[in-house]
Amino acid sequence: MANVAQSPAIQMNVEQGRLRSALAALLPVLAAAFASAQDDPAQRVVITKGPRVEDVTAEAVVIAWSTNVNASTIVRYGTDRQRLDAAAEEPWGGLTHRVTIRNLRPGMMYYYEAESNQGQGTGTAAVSPVLSFSTRSAAGSLPQGAPTGDSVRVLAGPIPRNITAHTAQIWWESDRPSDTIVRYGTDPQRLTETQQSPWGDQVHRVELSRLEPGTEYFVEVVGPEGDVRGQARFRTEAPGAAGPKITDGPRIEFLGTNSAVIAWTTNEPANGVVRYGTEPGAQAETAEAPSNQTTHRVTLRRLKPGAIYYFSVESSTGRDQEKTAKSGVAPFRTPETPERAMRISQP
């Protein structure tokens, strides 16, 4: 039988039928993929930084935090840690969240938690731990000992480490995640250089570069409003300096109420000494490490609880005591009670 040519209308109907069949087969696959993405834990909304107190007055406070996806912006708060019965919020959306809470009472401590729900593409929620802040008094001052956005406490450091002729690392640890900002310079009354890292760490490291050889530098760890949280000083290596070099550290490995462990490494076997005291310019006490080692570890004993000490380390070779490597002068604070003793890991 001879083939009969199909009309254009019949051909169009055939093609549409094939297209509908292909779409019907594809829809279950797309639905399964979408459901899988919804269930993927990696897609959950997460608070990546904060929350933090950016500003506080007698009657208002600004709370800020960041998330990994667009989400809602809510702060729940109250004067009872167990009963956060008030809320303030901003319109949904954004990775950076900022809420202003108004009509607060002066001189009061408040508790709060940040909440970001309805995470874009996930439908999940993230809630911060319960934190606190204190409003200023009617006269503008803060209550004695009140925790605020600027009351971050440096537990150890700042310590100048791994010093070369042109570079140095500044290390410190704070009692909670906070800003990482360093001011430095060669004039302690005029620290004109600034270096910083993103907000949100508790263990802080800042790399300083383009330093002048054989030069003394002064360092301040500061908050976002310029409040000084800690100070240190160091001298870069002199050009062509001979003798041992401190290649890693010094670092604080342990802080107790009555003791501390200081460690550092040199590029060749040498003696090791820690000089320390309660005044930054007079480290009158000394403690020694075993001789002719490249890894040096010294335990300082009979310290006072809750006291600030300043220390520096030295390593010299036995054959020529004039060839000595010296660290900068750095502070640490002993814990007030034994349960607050810290073993500090610094990879």
- pLDDT given at position 36: 42
Residue 147, Cβ neighbours under 10 Å: how many? 18
The stretch 222-238 carries a mean pLDDT of 85
Closest CA to 331 of 181, 214, 190, 228: 228
Q: What is the pLDDT of residue 321?
A: 56
Confidence of residue 316 (pLDDT cuts 50, 70, 90): confident
Query: Please, what are the domains in the chain?
Result: 46-134 (2.60.40.10), 154-238 (2.60.40.10), 242-347 (2.60.40.10)
What mean pLDDT is reported for the chain? 81
Question: 4 versus 307: which is more confidently predicted?
Answer: 307
Q: What pLDDT, in 10s, does the model give residues 177-210?
A: 888 899 999 998 888 899 988 777 788 999 999 9
- Identify the pLDDT of residue 258: 94
Q: Are the C-beta atoms of 53 and 38 separated by less than 8 Å? A: no
Q: What is the pTM of this model?
A: 0.54
Q: Which of 316, 158, 143 is nearest to 251 (CA)?
A: 158
Token couple for 51: 């929350």
Give the CA-trace dihedral at 320, 321, 327, 329, to 10 degrees. Answer: -170
What letter would DSSP give residue 83? B
Q: Where are the alpha helices (DSSP H) in the chain?
A: 8-39
The single-letter code of the amino acid at 251 is R
| pLDDT higher than 80, residue 40 | no
Would you state the pLDDT for residue 249? 84
Task: Report d(CA 314, CA 286) in Å as an integer.
Answer: 10
* pLDDT at residue 339, as a whole number: 82
Top pLDDT among 23 and 194 is at 194
pLDDT at residue 49 in the model = 86
Instruction: Report residue 12: phi and psi, to 5°.
Output: -65, -40
The C-alpha angle 136, 142, 144, rounded to 5 degrees, equals 145
Residues 207, 209: Cα–Cα separation, whole Å: 7
Average pLDDT over residues 113-129: 85
Q: Is the pLDDT of residue 22 over 80?
A: no
Predicted confidence at residue 18, as pLDDT, reads: 66
- Residue 28: what pLDDT? 59
Average pLDDT value for residue range 255-270: 92
In this prediction, residue 97 has a pLDDT band, given cuts at 50, 70 and 90, of very high
Kindly state the helix (H) or strand (E) to which residue 182 belongs, with its residue range.
strand 168-185
Q: Which residue has the tokens 């019949």?
A: 10
**Torsion angle (degrees, nearest 10) of CA 232, 340, 284, 219:** 0
Q: Is 17 helix (H, G, I), strand (E, B) or coil?
A: helix
Among 73-77, 148-152, 237-241, 338-342, the range scoring the smallest mean pLDDT is 148-152
